Chain A
Amino acid sequence: MDASTPSATTMTVKDTSLFYGGFRAVKDINLHFRPHAVTAIIGSSGCGKSTMLRSLNRINDRVNGFRVEGTISLGDQDVYAPTTDVVDLRRRVGMVFQRPNPFPMSIFDNVAFGLTLYAPPKRADLEMMVETALRASALWGEVKDKLRRPATELSGGQQQRLCIARAIATRPDVLLMDEPCSALDPISTLKVEELIAELKRSYTVVIVTHNMQQAARASDVTVMMNMDEADRAGHVIEVGATDDIFTNPQHPQTEAYVSGRFG
């Protein structure tokens, strides 16, 4: 075997419904998240986009009453199988949250957090890994002289790129992003979008966004979700290449949404 193997992995969602207690929040989802591509999930508030995303790394397990029906898999591994090691799953499926959530520690320690969890590497290796992650998140130039400063001193946009660096430092297979730019200014947003476009070369990227232009600019595949008025459950309206979704939507709801007439 080679010293290294490609890491980006396909995630598949098959006939999946997601429940909060007795309430079916999301229904009948069939999706395929391709490696080396950015898949954007769009749709109006409350349509279950985030619930969908948060079920991919089982971070929603923490919510009381949350339940999954159907099959979600990472490569050929069943994410919700009883034998699945949730901790290892989350190590392989990284996540960036809506609000930048750096730990109240130094910039360096934030990026090193995931790397030092189980088998802390040698100092020199660790420094190299932190640098690589910060370079990859286009933050190195801005922070290389203040790695020991508190992460909270960074601007919002820098904090979010730091969180991305933190997430990719452990080299996950998949990167989930839950409206990563909703708390950022346009310039920071552009930087993060450029970063996402770069990151897809290494990972499978899934991003939830409210921002139509962002989906259009940064993604290859777009998933349009909406709430079914009949049973209030979110479901997929349309999936397609981003260009098609925005220029030639097949479903009237998609057309209305991407042209800004509702949502």
Chain B
Amino acid sequence: MNSDTREILATKDVAWERRIMAARRRATLIDRAMTGVMSLAALFLVIVLSGVIFIILRAGLPAISWTFLTTASSITDPGGGIGPQIWVTMYILVLSLAIVTPIGVGAAIYLSEYARPGPITNAIRFSTEALASVPSVVFGVFGAIVFLTIMNLGFSVLSGSLTLALLNLPLMVRIAEDAIRAVPTAYREASLALGGSRWETIRKAVLPSALPGIITALVLTGGRIIGETAPLILTTGTTISPNAQYSLNPLQTGETLAVHIWVLKIVGVPGLQDAQLVADGSAAVLLLIVLIINVGMAYFTNRLTQRLRGASGAPRAGGSKKG
């Protein structure tokens, strides 16, 4: 460093400082204003969320009773329940997730861990992303052609579950792949350097860290399954046979809660006086199911992460020890 440079750096340019300080005052104001803007956005979010919960529950809670949750629906007389609809909703949720999870996570593992980076992998990734934004009703039409017409499965819980599995596959792959790719390379290298095979490395070093992200994928997918209507109307139907309520037979027709709401609110059931109340009650139940699933999953993820990473709140070296 020559002495000129040293001289420059060792001194404050007073004019420059003055200019900065003037600009700093403005920057401080902008800083405060932006804090306000972000807080307002967050506040708006909280208001919307609590508003949705409040309005849906206020409309629907009066309808909810043990009888409402357990008896069959009626399209002729008031006082019908939604028991079979809850059953079908949970059945399709479980069946659809059971189909989409292994395929989705498997494909995500392949794309992130096995596939050689290059144009083909990129093309697959791009198509997956594109597929994720195809409207669900298009998948409904596709499902109707393939599962109802070609495979002859009829309007059934199985047709609906398969259709929803396909619908959710791209989303599942995208989120799961992101979660897996976010795992630090160092973990993979540590496992491989200890002589771990590729699969052992994935199973023991990569997936545990990616698990919270994969569970997020499951929860989002589950939410979409529970809330979907159009593809189910086209593949599962809108009725539940009175002699197949609470049936495990995947070839029965079915009607999920979301579809039930659609039928009551949009299609209309002439002569059923309490159709609106039943619909509102169904919406509240739907909301509660989603909330319960989310809270449950959050708790489960937490526990799982703690178990995989070792006990939570590990004491600092030499810190307080558990008795």
Could you tell me which A residues sit within 8 Å of B by CB distance? 1-8, 23, 46, 85, 87-88, 91, 117-119, 121, 132-133, 135-136, 138, 168, 171, 198-199, 201-203, 232
How far is B12's CA from A202's CA once the two chains are assembled, in angstroms? 10
Of the residues A4, A87, A138, A203, contact of B13 by C-beta under 8 Å: A4
On whether the beta carbons of A6 and B28 are closer than 8 Å, the reply is no
Mask, B21-38, CB within 8 Å of A = 1, is: 011101110010000000
Asked if B19 is at the interface (CB within 8 A of a chain A CB), the reply is yes
Given the complex of chains A and B, what is the CA–CA distance between A88 and B24 in angstroms? Answer: 8
Taking Cβ atoms with an 8 Å cutoff, the residues of B that contact A are: 1-2, 5-6, 8-16, 19-20, 22-24, 26-28, 31, 316-319
- Closest 4 A-B residue pairs measured CB to CB? A119-B23, A118-B23, A4-B11, A202-B10
In the complex, A199 Cα to B22 Cα: how many Å?
28
B9 to A168, Cβ gap below 8 A?
yes
Residues of B within 8 A of A201 (CB): 6, 10
Structural contact, B13 and A3, CB atoms closer than 8 A: yes
> Which A residues are in CB contact (< 8 Å) with B317?
46
29 chain-A/chain-B pairs, Cβ below 8 angstroms: A1-B14, A4-B13, A4-B14, A5-B14, A7-B12, A23-B319, A85-B28, A87-B24, A87-B27, A87-B28, A88-B24, A91-B20, A119-B19, A119-B22, A121-B16, A132-B8, A132-B9, A135-B1, A135-B2, A135-B5, A136-B1, A136-B9, A138-B1, A171-B12, A198-B1, A198-B6, A199-B9, A202-B6, A203-B9
- Quick one: which of B6, B12, B20, B316 contacts A4, CB cutoff 8 A? B12
**For residue B316, which residues in chain A have a CB less than 8 angstroms away from its CB?**
23, 232
CA distance A203 to B26 in the complex (A): 28
- Contact (Cβ within 8 A) A7 B24: no
B10's contact among A2, A3, A8, A138, by CB below 8 Å, is which? A8
Instruction: Kindly identify which residue among B1, B20, B318 contacts A118, using a CB–CB cutoff of 8 Å.
Output: B20
The residue in B9, B13, B316 that gathers the most chain A C-beta atoms within 10 A of its C-beta is B9
Contact partner of A202 (CB less than 8 A), chosen from B9, B14, B15, is B9
Q: A87-B31, A132-B8, A199-B9 are in contact. List 20 more A-B contacts (CB 8 A).
A: A4-B11, A4-B12, A6-B10, A6-B11, A7-B10, A85-B24, A85-B28, A118-B23, A118-B24, A119-B23, A132-B9, A133-B9, A135-B2, A138-B1, A171-B12, A201-B6, A202-B6, A203-B10, A232-B318, A232-B319
Binding site of A, secondary structure by majority: helix, strand, loop or mixed? Answer: loop
Q: Shortest Cβ distance from B3 into chain A, in angstroms? A: 9
Which residues in B have their C-beta under 8 angstroms from that of A8? Answer: 10
- Cα A232 to Cα B16 with chains together (Å): 46
Q: Complex formed: what's the CA distance from A117 to B16 in Å?
A: 13
Main secondary structure of the interface of B (DSSP, over half): helix
Q: With A and B bound together, what is the CA distance between A87 and B31 in angstroms?
A: 11
Q: How many inter-chain contacts with C-beta < 8 Å in the A-B complex? A: 71
Taken together as a complex, chains A and B put the C-alpha atoms of A8 and B6 apart, in Å, by: 12
Query: For residue A227, which residue of chain B has the nearest CB?
Result: B318
Query: Which residues in A have their C-beta under 8 angstroms from that of B6?
Result: 136, 198, 201-202
Complex CA distance for A254 and B28, rounded to whole angstroms: 45
A34 to chain B, nearest CB (A): 15
Chain B residue nearest in CB terms to A25: B316
B16 cross-chain contacts in A, Cβ below 8 A: 121
Q: How far is the CA of A198 from the CA of B5 in the complex (A)?
A: 11
From residue B18, how far is it (CB to closest CB) to chain A in Å? 10
Complex: A4 Cα to B9 Cα, angstroms: 11
B73 to chain A, nearest CB (A): 51
A-side contacts of B11, CB under 8 Å: 4-7, 171
A173–chain B nearest beta-carbon distance, Å: 8
For A3, A4, A133, A138, which residue has the most chain B Cβ atoms within 10 angstroms? A4
Within 8 Å CB of B22, what residues of A?
Answer: 119
Residues of A within 8 A of B9 (CB): 132-133, 136, 168, 171, 199, 202-203
Q: Are B5 and A132 in contact (CB under 8 A)?
A: yes
In the complex, chain B residues whose CB is within 8 Å of the CB of A121 = 16
Q: Which of B8, B14, B316 lies at the interface centre, i.e. has the most chain A CB atoms within 10 A of its CB?
A: B8
Bound together, the chains give a CA A115 to CA B19 distance in angstroms of: 12
- Say how far B144's CB is from chain A's closest CB, in angstroms: 48
Chain A, residue nearest B11 (CB) = A4
Contact (Cβ within 8 A) B14 A118: no
Q: Closest B-chain residue to A134, C-beta based? A: B5
Residues of B within 8 A of A87 (CB): 24, 27-28, 31
CA distance A203 to B11 in the complex (A): 10
Min CB distance B292 to A, Å, is: 30
Query: Using Cβ atoms and an 8 Å threshold, which residues of chain A touch B318?
Result: 232
